[in-house]
Homo-oligomer: A and B are copies of this chain.
Amino acid sequence: MKKQKHKTDIVSVANLAGVSAATVSRALNHPDLVQPATRKKIDQAIRKSGYIRNRAAQTIHGRRSGTIGLVVPTVAYAIFAELVQAFNDAVSERGFTLLLASHGYDLDTEYGLVRKLLEHRVDALALIGLDHSADTYRVLREQNVPTLAIWNFDAASPVSCVGVNNAEIGNIAADHLIMLGHRRIGTIFPSTGENDRARSRKSAAFERFRAAQADLDEIWQIQTPYSIAQAKDACLDLLARQDRPTALLCGNDVIAQGAIYAALKLGLSVPKDISIIGIGDFAGSAELEPALTTVRIPARRIGAIAAEHLAAAVDRTEEDFLVRTRFEAELIMRATTAVARAK
């Protein structure tokens, strides 16, 4: 018995129900336009034939595709996990399906992914941050699909954005360390070349540190990707030095976690021997021992609002979609920072 090529399209359902294809279509999309009795027949026919609508056919007709694209640098670490989860939940609650793509912090790859998502005719598109290639910006403008930049807020952004002011975050973190009396500061950030979030945080913090005439010895400033293992490794070297800083500002909580482990491994007490502050307040940061002092970025709320904005933009057929929502970051003082000791 050869598996029959399941020829279950809308017309076979229509035949089975004894109505026209148009009526079946209406029963599915505008149930109020078809008589209850007919609807019932159709429902049965659908159930019986195992019919599944073809979204592609709707899409081609100009209808919404029912998909929203999300392009992130990575999902491998905790950084975007909560965001993706919240975004996905909010988006699917509104009947959309998520098309996910990740580019590994490479903006040319990102451009390719954006194109691919546009080929699939996503109804809306979300990217992380405001650093994108000129090609990406151009194609988004041309296709005018509702687009949203998540994570970084900028009042002058070329596209809609919802997020935090990352410079502000840098300020908050730096001020906290300065306030505690630290003047010997180390920083651990990822490469800031194609990452506006990290760049803003870092340069803002540096400015503050300089204003406070802190010692920012070149050798204490290190660069490592967002990875616990690599951050720990890098910090082992840094913290084993005779002349080490009294405080460490980490590009995010993942790095901070690595830093803490490095300190513990070396038998240093956090925060007595070294203060460590993270950025993000990821899941688990509060439970760390010692609990991580960090600057909270409300990932869930950002993800949820982002999804809400985009879903709304899809319905409105209005011309240009532009919203900017700013969330406030917040210092969460826990147990990894303390007043600087005289050294």
- A57 and B74 CA atoms in complex are apart in Å by 30
Q: How far is the CA of A98 from the CA of B72 in the complex (A)?
A: 13
Given A228-B287, A289-B265, A121 and B54 contact (CB-CB distance below 8 Å): yes
Contact B88 A97 (CB under 8 A): no
A139-147, A173-181, A325-333 - interface stretch: A139-147
Query: Beta-carbon contacts of A197-227 to B below 8 Å, as 1s and 0s?
Result: 0000000000000000000000000000001
Name the one of B99, B229, B260, B288 contacting A286, with C-beta atoms under 8 angstroms: B229
Question: What residues on B are CB-neighbors of A257 within 8 Å?
Answer: 284, 287
What's the minimum C-beta distance from A135 to chain B, rounded to whole angstroms? Answer: 11
Contact of A26 with B by CB under 8 A:
no
- How many angstroms from the CA of A234 to the CA of B116 in the assembled complex? 45
On whether the beta carbons of A118 and B85 are closer than 8 Å, the reply is no
A264 to B291, CA, bound (A): 11
Nearest residue in B to A58 (C-beta to C-beta)?
B56
Are B283 and A261 neighbours in the complex by a CB distance under 8 Å?
no
Task: Determine if A120 is an interface residue (Cβ-Cβ < 8 Å).
Answer: yes
Q: Is the CB of B116 within 8 A of A97?
A: yes
A52's nearest neighbour on chain B, judged by CB, is: B118
Interface locus among A32-40, A75-83, A156-164, A272-280:
A75-83
**Size bracket, chain A contacts:** 35 or more
CB-CB < 8 A to A94: which residues of B? none
Considering only residues 260-318 of chain A, those with a C-beta below 8 Å from chain B are: 260-261, 264-265, 283-284, 286-289
A192 interfacial by beta-carbon distance below 8 Å: no
Shortest CB-to-CB span from A317 to chain B, Å, is 11
Does A6 touch B at the CB level, under 8 Å?
Answer: yes
Interface string of A95-120 (1 = CB under 8 A from B): 00111111000000000010111111
Task: Give me 17 A-to-B residue pairs in the complex whose CB atoms sit less than 8 angstroms apart, sorted by A's number.
Answer: A52-B118, A54-B121, A55-B56, A55-B119, A56-B65, A60-B60, A66-B119, A77-B81, A85-B102, A88-B100, A89-B102, A98-B100, A227-B283, A229-B283, A257-B287, A260-B289, A265-B289
Interface residues of A (CB under 8 A from B): 3, 6, 50, 52-57, 59-60, 65-67, 74-78, 81-82, 84-85, 88-89, 92, 97-102, 113, 115-121, 139, 142-144, 227-229, 232, 257-258, 260-261, 264-265, 283-284, 286-289, 319
